[in-house]
Amino acid sequence: MRGIFKKLFLTYVLVIVVSSAIIAIFTDYVLKEYYKDEIAHELEVSAVLVEDMMENFAFAKNPSKLQNFVKRLGEKIKTRITIVNSDGTVFADSESDPETMENHKDRPEMEKALSGIIGKSVRHSDTLNIDMMYVAIPLKSNGNLSGAIRLSIFLSDINRKIKQIHKIIIVSVLIGILAALLLSFIVGKSFVNPILLMKTAAEKISKGDFNQKLDFKANDELARLGHSLNAMSEELQKNITETEREKNELSIVLSDMVEGVILVDKNRRIIMLNQSLSNMLYLRSDEAVGRHSWEILGNEEINNAIESTLAKAEPVRKDITILLPEEKYIQVQTSVIYDENNELYGVVGVFHDITQIRKLENMRTEFVANVSHELKTPLTAISGFIETLKEGAINDKKEASKFLDIMQANTERLNNLINDMLVISKSESKEMKLELKKVNIEKILESISSMYKERIDKKSQKLIFEIANNFTEITADEEKLIQIFSNLIDNAIKFTGQGGVITVKCYDVQDKIKIEVSDTGIGIPKEHLPRIFERFYRVDKARSREMGGTGLGLAIVKHLIQLHGGTVSVESQPGRGSSFTVVLPKEINS
């Protein structure tokens, strides 16, 4: 037995026992009185009968006959009969010899009977030494009071009867109590069971298990409470699902955001930090929540931004630079957030990685500087020679023709430079369209080799082709392919010394072809490799310029290859040579 059921049941028991006891005591009292009255009445009736009998029989006048009659009758009706005359002298008695008995005038019941009314008394009998009940009636002859007739009964007989009644009462009360207990047990259970079910359901609900359906058949308050619990659980589940959905949506948005986001409370504790920010600042986001922002962020400028936002309750925007492990430019924008009571809650910080934008900006300024410089050099030369010619050199035919040659070479260089830049700007602005057709790679490479034959021979270099013969044609823009491989071969010749070897390998890999242009030239130091495809980038600026290079060749190569959906990569060892690998799809869809 537990809790509520115990209380309920014990209360029932108490109520049942107390009320049964009251009923038992009351019943006992009432029955006892009723029984005594009944017996007194019986005695009275019997006394009247005895009087009647005495009137009708002559023996009444004969003392010994009367004594016999009284004795016999007393035995028969199991009642003591005493007859006294008007002065209280005992005349006859069914239990004792009247001769030996004292005057009964003073007995309370006799006193009343002798005064003409019925007397009743319960007391101890001196004669029989026992408790008795007495009923006496006046005895009349010819209308005059001549004595009294008293009938009495042992109280022990009455008590025996009353004891029997007691037994009956006790047994019925016990049966009643048992039945009531059984009933209260059943009723108690029927009360407590639904409550226990609801308790278990509520406990499960509090642990997040909302599949609790209480189904009570009855239509009482408990059943209604059960239904309310069901409704509450459903509502709660709906609300929680809704909140979770919102939370998930928010966390998906936050985690998918490119921008880094951090939420810090006014005590500088991190409430939320998204993956982008962890990646951007190289943090461990799983350890961040709950810790102090200055502990986790470890960047003074960011912490200062947070502090200043909290101190002034104003947004802060600033660009910061991170140097390690790699240089990064980050734009930080903080805002104050307030809680529902409009009190300062904390700071939200949004971080944009602007490294790429910065790099592009730098490239643009660098580009402008480079272009101006590249244009300026030949222009300075041209205007210088024009000046010299004007000052008189024009008259020296031989000298003049030499100057004009130089001017022509510089003009050509300007022309080439402008052409290269046009190619680049066209390809970058996506204006360039490929004119696709079936082209024979082998033929293209051969025609390029004839273009460079003179330069190769001059440097006593060797150009070797290793072309796998299992394919002949690919879909591409022929002119652009010529541009790509001319540039690569031109570089190879240019950056390879006397007697070097240039090898062009061509083979297919599934639906692609690979063309490797390798040389045994000066090679490219490792640190320059990632940048050589940038516009105007040259490893050794002075040397390349001397050789007429502007550093646009590889940038053009890369763009043209990308337009074909291909890739280009480089491997190189300084002093031993370089190898450029171009991968192109055999078929491309324009």
Ligand X SMILES: Nc1ncnc2c1ncn2[C@@H]1O[C@H](COP(=O)(O)OP(=O)(O)OP(=O)(O)O)[C@@H](O)[C@H]1O
Is residue 119 involved in binding ligand X (CB under 6 A)?
no
Q: Which stretch binds ligand X (CB under 6 A): 50-58, 277-285, 298-306, 547-555?
A: 547-555
Name residues contacting Mg ion, limited to 525-554 (CB under 5 A). Answer: 553
Hey, what amino acid is at 532?
I
Hey, what amino acid is at 32?
K
Q: Which stretch binds Mg ion (CB under 5 A): 172-180, 209-217, 304-312, 486-494?
A: 486-494
Is residue 502 involved in binding ligand X (CB under 6 A)?
no
Minimum CB distance to ligand X smaller for 3 or for 497? 497
From the list 70, 158, 297, 524, which residue makes contact with ligand X (rule: CB under 6 A)? 524
Smallest separation, CB 572 to ligand X (Å):
7
Question: Going along 368-511, which residue ranges are E strands?
Answer: 436-440, 462-467, 473-477, 501-509
Smallest separation, CB 549 to Mg ion (Å):
5
Is residue 90 involved in binding ligand X (CB under 6 A)?
no
Site string for ligand X, 457-496 (x = CB under 6 A): ------------------------------x---xx--x-
Helices of type H across 57-92: 63-76
Radius of gyration of the chain, Cα coordinates, nearest whole angstrom: 65
578 binds, among ligand X, Mg ion, none (CB under 5 to 8 A by kind): ligand X
From the list 109, 374, 516, 519, which residue makes contact with ligand X (rule: CB under 6 A)? 519
> What DSSP designation does 530 have?
G
521 binds, among Mg ion, ligand X, none (CB under 5 to 8 A by kind): ligand X
Cβ neighbours, 10 Å, residue 475? 17
Is residue 80 involved in binding ligand X (CB under 6 A)?
no
Is residue 496 involved in binding Mg ion (CB under 5 A)?
no
Q: Which stretch binds ligand X (CB under 6 A): 139-147, 195-203, 468-476, 542-550?
A: 542-550
Minimum CB distance to ligand X smaller for 551 or for 566? 551
Smallest separation, CB 530 to ligand X (Å):
12
Q: Which stretch binds Mg ion (CB under 5 A): 143-151, 244-252, 322-330, 483-491?
A: 483-491
Site string for Mg ion, 17-56 (x = CB under 5 A): ----------------------------------------
Using the structure block, give the residue that is written with the tokens 């500087």: 369
The residue number with the shortest CB distance to ligand X is: 553
Long-range CB contacts (within 8 A, 24+) of 154-163: 154/130, 155/122, 155/130, 155/131, 156/130, 156/131, 157/78, 158/35, 158/36, 158/39, 158/133, 161/35, 162/31, 162/32, 162/35
Which stretch of DSSP H or E encloses residue 28? helix 3-56
The per-residue DSSP string of 376-394 comes to HHHHHHHHHHHHHHHTTGG
260 binds, among Mg ion, ligand X, none (CB under 5 to 8 A by kind): none
From the list 413, 538, 558, 559, which residue makes contact with ligand X (rule: CB under 6 A)? 538
From the list 148, 273, 302, 552, which residue makes contact with ligand X (rule: CB under 6 A)? 552
Smallest separation, CB 556 to ligand X (Å):
8
Closest C-alpha among 553, 403, 532 to residue 485 = 553
Number of residues lying near ligand X (CB under 6 A): 23
Is residue 516 involved in binding ligand X (CB under 6 A)?
no
CA 570 to chain centroid:
52
524 binds, among ligand X, Mg ion, none (CB under 5 to 8 A by kind): ligand X
Is residue 491 involved in binding Mg ion (CB under 5 A)?
yes
Distance from C-alpha of 37 to C-alpha of 26, rounded to nearest angstrom = 16
> What DSSP designation does 395 have?
G
Which stretch of DSSP H or E encloses residue 26? helix 3-56
Give the sign of the dihedral formed by CA 193, CA 199, CA 203, CA 204. positive
413 binds, among ligand X, Mg ion, none (CB under 5 to 8 A by kind): none
Edge to edge, what strands does the sheet with 80-85 contain? 90-93, 80-85, 144-154, 130-141, 119-125
Smallest separation, CB 481 to ligand X (Å):
17
The per-residue DSSP string of 557-589 comes to HHHHHHHTT-EEEEEEETTTEEEEEEEEESS--
Q: Interhelix angle for 397-428 vs 355-390, to 10°?
A: 160
Is residue 121 involved in binding Mg ion (CB under 5 A)?
no
500 binds, among ligand X, Mg ion, none (CB under 5 to 8 A by kind): none
Q: How far is CA 105 from CA 99, 142, 150, in A?
A: 15, 22, 12
Using the structure block, give the residue that is written with the tokens 């639904």: 194
Distance from C-alpha of 353 to C-alpha of 260, rounded to nearest angstrom = 8
Q: Which stretch binds ligand X (CB under 6 A): 87-95, 279-287, 325-333, 519-527?
A: 519-527
Work out whether strand 501-509 and strand 462-467 pair parallel, antiparallel, or are unpaired. parallel
Is residue 532 involved in binding ligand X (CB under 6 A)?
yes
Smallest separation, CB 514 to Mg ion (Å):
21
Smallest separation, CB 554 to Mg ion (Å):
6
The residue number with the shortest CB distance to Mg ion is: 553
Smallest separation, CB 496 to ligand X (Å):
7
Chain residues binding Mg ion by CB under 5 A are 491, 553
Chain residues binding ligand X by CB under 6 A are 487, 491-492, 495, 519, 521-524, 532, 537-540, 544, 549-555, 578
